Amino acid sequence: MKKNMINKFTLKVLSLIIAILIWLLVRNVDDPIVVRTFYEIPVSIENASYLAENLEIPLLVDGKDTVKVRVKGARSVVSKLKKEDIKAVADMTQIISKDTTPIMVPVEVTGTGISDSDITVRPRNIQVDIEKQKSVEKTIAVIWGDCSSPEIVKQTLRVLDKVAEKYGHTFHYTDAAMGGEAIDKYGDPLPQHELDKCLAADSVLLGAVGGPKWEGLPGEQRPEKGLPRLRAGRGLYSNNRPARIWPQLAPASPLKPEIVAKGIDFIIVRELIGGVYFGKHETYTLENGEKQAVDSMPYAEHEIERIGRIGFETAMKRRRKLCCVDKANVLDTRHCPSIPRGLSLPMKQDRLQAEYPEVEYSEMFVDNCAMQVVKDPSQFDVIVTENMFGDIISDEASMITGSIGMIPSSSLGDGTRGLYEPIHGSAPDIAGQDIINPIACILSAAMMLRYSFDMAAEADCIEAAVNQVLNDGIRTADIWRPGCEKVGCAAMGDAILARL
């Protein structure tokens, strides 16, 4: 009897093991798919007990939140929490198929007394709905620019064409003349019919305009006068210029190594179509015969509120720190609510702060900001400021990164249609010599894909290719140093294309 009971028990155990093995074989997803994600969930001491049992991290499957992973064994983590919060970060690119059971997701946990062995992340309730990426068709107005500019625009369009081929998109290019080219053709830096081409496009890619050939022209006929018209015509009131130092180029920064080592990665949100550049400019003669010039700096409340909102929105997409820069101790036209002068803005700013409680908000006078940018740039995440101050601070910030040949920029308004351009000029002294660095223009195209076309993966692809080029020691003349390979503009384009 006893022996029979043992045999029956053994058979049950074996049956259970076989059932488990069969289940493991059939439970997997049949068709391979790619899962990519970067997802962060803050876990505070107060809610850790709940999250220890219920934390689920969604993974993106072809743009859909259809895969969940759960933090396992987190009770041991909760018991070790002291004062700091912890956060679990899933970061993976992995093929899911029959051969991957279970799917292990790398998890980074920071906090008091936490070790890697405390947390295991596994998939839960996998439901796969594979949807092929939709092809997108966009029209891009291309302003080739003057002097060296057509060389960098040519390489940028090659990169865009490769991205379109890789991801199944279609980009149509419409040439629009502005600057010296437009002056030579039409006698106007931006005729209305050329502006209309830009207005009809989904976005505008601009090289750089101007050069010695047109320096003697009257003010309104100079090549640079086309740019304010283009910005105003498209309603672009926010210029966003990143100041980021690539680790490979850190030695090129003029700042001390110990300052650079702390990191330089912030963005300046500059109001673009208001202030002194767009105010009245008058010169008249006083009673004593002396001439006097007056430049006015007008701002309306809605102009300040909308650029403030862009600043908060940008901070939400980054490290959630916003510094408002003005000169409120002197000027009535101010962008921060610290001193009750001029426009009645504190209520508006307070309302914006209330809408974005997650953002750490601070204020700084522009003269102090100019000093802090070179003293400790790591303190900044997003700076929002008015037109002239932003013009000056962003140029200062561009120099601490090592080369202006690496810095893109975007100009945006209320919609997604923007203007994208490198921050550097047309480089007339090296025009036609295949010397100019095309990376800033190429990175501007990446910004266009990200912010105007909602193509984050495509933008990441371009930025990763640029990063790999730098890792491989390939440099144009402006960023070259001993031990690196010096190449021209076209060869740099070839190198980036090869790494897309």
The pLDDT profile of the chain, 500 residues, written as one tens digit per residue, is 545 555 666 666 667 666 666 555 544 443 333 333 333 334 333 333 333 333 344 433 333 333 333 333 333 333 333 333 334 433 333 333 333 333 333 333 344 343 434 333 333 333 323 334 467 899 999 999 999 999 999 999 999 999 999 888 999 999 999 999 999 999 999 999 999 999 999 999 999 999 999 988 887 889 989 998 998 898 899 999 999 888 888 888 899 999 998 989 999 999 988 888 888 989 999 999 999 999 898 888 888 888 988 899 888 888 899 999 988 888 877 655 443 333 334 445 567 888 898 999 999 999 999 999 999 999 999 999 999 999 999 989 988 987 788 999 999 888 888 999 999 999 999 999 999 999 999 999 999 998 889 888 899 899 999 999 999 999 999 999 899 999 999 999 999 999 98
- Reply yes or no on whether 299 is catalytic: no
Cis peptide upstream of residue 102 (ω within 30 degrees of 0): yes
DSSP single-letter state for residue 449: I
Q: Which of 118, 146, 188, 391 is catalytic?
A: 391
Query: Does residue 116 have an active-site annotation?
Result: no
161 carries an active-site annotation? no
In order of 13, 96, 168, 499, the CA distances from 20 in angstroms are 11, 20, 43, 45
Which residue type, as a one-letter code, is found at position 52? A
| Whether this model's pTM surpasses 0.95 | no
Contacts of 286 (CB under 8 A, 6+ apart): 292
Cα atoms in the Cβ-side hemisphere of radius 13 Å centred on 184 = 11
- Is 265 one of the catalytic residues? no
Catalytic residue of the set 184, 350, 367, 429: 367
Between CA 345 and CA 347 the distance in angstroms is 5
Taking CB atoms within 8 Å and a gap of at least 24, the contacts of 302-306 are 303/237, 303/271, 303/274, 304/271, 304/335, 304/343, 304/345, 304/348, 305/345, 305/348, 305/352, 306/237, 306/238, 306/414
Q: Which of 321, 327, 348, 486 is catalytic?
A: 327
Buried b (16+ CB within 10 A) or exposed e, 299-327: beeebbebbbbbbbbbbeeeeebbbbbbb
What DSSP line would sit under 60-126, residue for residue?
A: EETTEEEEEEEEESTHHHHHH--SS-EEEEEEEEEEESTT--SPPPPEEE-STT--GGG-EEEEES-
Conformational region of residue 125, where left means phi above 0, alpha means psi within -120 to 50, and beta covers everything else = left
Given the residues 39, 167, 186, 277, the one annotated as active site: 277
Angle subtended by helix axes 489-498 and 456-471, to nearest 10: 120
Backbone angles phi, psi at 100, to 5 degrees: -115, 90
327 in active site: yes
Query: Catalytic residue among 295, 395, 429, 454, which?
Result: 395
DSSP string spanning 330-361? T-SS-SSSSS--SS--HHHHHHHHHH-TTSEE
**CA 292 to CA 284: how far, in whole Å?**
6
